[in-house]
Structure 1
Amino acid sequence: MYKKIIVPVDLAHASRLQKVLQTAADLGRHYNASVCYVGVISSLPGSVARSPSEFAEKLGEFASMQGKENGIATSSHAVTSHDPAVDLDQALLAAIADTGADLVVMASHIPNVTDYIWPSNGGTIASRSSASVFVVRGA
């Protein structure tokens, strides 16, 4: 049913993403789909990497590790943005198109009052993407 799954990841908080990573791996195995880990970074030095190329390398290593640990085919897709906090939704939508993904598995937060004013990333991706979106709570 699904052929390409993308999982947005923040490498600075990868330890808090176990539930979403396991969900994506399980779906990848079930559908024999490849899983692509997508990361969005600024071109400025940050806590994870000093440059976009270093970030892409670390994201690739992360994807490879996930593949070995879970027995799935993996890849990575690094996106450089001027302001990842502002551009995240557009960067993820572009990554979906660039990778040909047909399923997005992403973490969410517990809904609160601000969701009535500003939509969540998952809500925006679900409403604007042609891919199916699986939002994992408590990830």
Structure 2
Amino acid sequence: MYKKIIVPIEIGSIAKGEKIFRKAAGLLDNGGEIILLNVVEDIPTYVAIELPGNIVEDAMKEGRDRLHDLVAKTGISATVEVRNGPPADSILAAAKDHGADLIMIASHIPDIYNYFIGATADRVVRHAKCSVLVDR
């Protein structure tokens, strides 16, 4: 059905990420590509002063390692990518850069600030130029 699928995965919710990764594989055309994406958010300067200088780089390395482990565990072929910045913006930029025809994103249980779907998923749905599948 789809030639290029972006699957953003939050490392703190790797089990949920594995679930949507497997679903994405079922939607992929022969010869298609899945891009597993982890986004490491920037740390505000007033907080970063109190933290080790390499915390973002370490988080990006951990994200890359965990996604490679997920690929190995599932046996599903995928490209692993880690970006730094605001999650929704980074997901949308990855979709544009790769010419994705689907973003498959997980949503969490909403709170008062993002009642229907998660804030990141909500922003991706509203601004994506391709189809978006939100997995609950």
TM-score (normalised: structure 2): 0.73
Other-structure match for 1:45: 55
Q: Deviations over 1:51-96 (max 9, x none)?
A: 53x246415623642662x4xx310121022xxxxx1111111111
Question: Identity percentage over the alignment?
Answer: 26
Question: What's the counterpart of residue 10 of structure 2?
Answer: 10
1:84 counterpart residue number: none
Distance in 2 (alpha carbons) for counterparts of 1:117 and 1:131: 20
In structure 2, the residue matched to 1:58 is: 65
Alignment equivalent of 1:76, drawn from 69, 80, 83: 80
Q: 1: distance between equivalents of 2:117 and 2:19?
A: 25
Cα contact 2:4–2:33 (8 A) shared by 1: yes
Distance in structure 2 (CA, Å) of the matches to 1:124 and 1:133? 11
Between structure 1 and structure 2, the one with the greater Rg is: 2
State how far apart, in whole Å, the 2-side matches of 1:36 and 1:21 are. Answer: 10
Deviations, residues 20-78 of structure 1 (Å, cap 9, x unaligned): 222112112xx2221110011157426xx7253x246415623642662x4xx310121
Q: Secondary structure at the match of 2:114?
A: helix
Q: What amino acid sits opposite 1:100 in the alignment?
A: G
Amino acid at match of 1:122: A
Q: 1:115 to 1:80 in 2, by over 3 A?
A: closer
Q: Which residues of structure 2 form unaligned runs of 5+?
A: 43-53
Q: How many residues align?
A: 124
Give TM-score scaled by structure 1 length: 0.71
RMSD: 2.9
